[in-house]
Amino acid sequence: MNNDGCETPIRVPSAPFRPGESASFEEWSYSPSDLMMPDPLSCEPKDTIPHSTGLIRVLGDDGSRSGDWDPVISDSDLLIGLEHMVRLRIFDDRMMKMQRTGKLSFYMRSLGEEAIAIAQTMALEKQDWIFPTYRQPGAQFVRGRDMVSMICHCIGNVEDNVKGRQMPVHYTYREGRYISVSSPVGTQFSQAVGVAMASAYKGLDEVTITWIGDGASAEGDYHYALNFASVFRPPVILNVVNNQWAISTHANLASGSSTFADRGLAYDVPCLRVDGNDFLALYSVTKWARDRASAGLGATHIEVLTYRAGAHSSSDDPTRYRPSDEPDVWPGGDPIHRLRDHLISVGAWTEEKHRDLEGRIDSEVMAAYKEAVKFGDLAQGPYPSSDTIFTEVYSDVPWHLQEQWDEMNRLGGD
Ligand X SMILES: Cc1ncc(C[n+]2csc(CCOP(=O)(O)OP(=O)(O)O)c2C)c(N)n1
Catalytically active residues, by annotation: 308, 312, 321
Residue 194 binds which of its own copies, ligand X, other proteins, none (CB < 5-8 A, kind-dependent): other proteins
Using the rule CB under 6 A, which residue among 156, 213, 270, 318 binds ligand X?
A: 213
Binding status of residue 263 toward its own copies by CB under 8 A: yes
**Contacts by 253-257 with C-beta closer than 8 Å and gap 24+?**
253/13, 253/14, 253/15, 254/214, 254/215, 254/217, 254/218, 255/214, 255/217, 255/218, 256/13
DSSP for 268-288 reads T--EEEEETT-HHHHHHHHHH
The 231-250 contact track toward ligand X, x by CB under 6 A, reads: ----------x-x-xxx---
CB of 384 to ligand X, least distance (A): 23
Residue 135 binds which of ligand X, Mg ion, its own copies, none (CB < 5-8 A, kind-dependent): ligand X
Using the rule CB under 8 A, which residue among 202, 320, 400, 410 binds its own copies?
A: 202
d(CA 281, CA 365): 28
Neighbours of 300 (CB within 10 A): 30
Residue 58 sits at φ, ψ, to 5 deg, of -125, -45
Count of residues of this chain found to bind ligand X when the rule CB under 6 A is applied: 15
Give SS3 for 193: helix
Name the nearest CA neighbour of 214 among 142, 313, 312, 331: 312
CA distances from 212 to 123, 155, 181 (A): 19, 25, 12
CB of 266 to other proteins, least distance (A): 14
Binding status of residue 225 toward ligand X by CB under 6 A: no
Q: Which residue, 330 or 369, is less far from ligand X as judged by CB? A: 330
Please state whether 273 falls in left (phi above 0), alpha (psi between -120 and 50) or beta: beta
Residue 262 binds which of its own copies, Mg ion, other proteins, none (CB < 5-8 A, kind-dependent): its own copies
Residue 163 binds which of other proteins, its own copies, Mg ion, none (CB < 5-8 A, kind-dependent): other proteins
Binding status of residue 305 toward its own copies by CB under 8 A: no
Q: Which residue, 185 or 280, is less far from ligand X as judged by CB? A: 185
CB of 8 to its own copies, least distance (A): 8
Using the rule CB under 8 A, which residue among 26, 62, 76, 203 binds its own copies?
A: 203
Q: Within 12-41, which residues bind its own copies (CB under 8 A)?
A: 12-13
CB of 341 to its own copies, least distance (A): 35
d(CA 300, CA 272): 8
CB of 172 to ligand X, least distance (A): 17
Q: Within 228-247, which residues bind Mg ion (CB under 5 A)?
A: 243, 246
CA distances from 67 to 13, 34, 37, 115, 318 (A): 36, 8, 9, 19, 36
Please report, as a single letter, which amino acid is at residue 261. Answer: A
Q: Which residues contact 103 (CB under 8 A, 6 or more apart)?
A: 155, 373, 377, 378, 379
Q: Within 310-329, which residues bind ligand X (CB under 6 A)?
A: 312
Bridge partners of residue 65, in order along the sequence:
59
Q: Within 232-261, which residues bind its own copies (CB under 8 A)?
A: 232-234, 253-258
State the residues that interact with ligand X by CB under 6 A. 135, 183-185, 213-216, 241, 243, 245-247, 308, 312
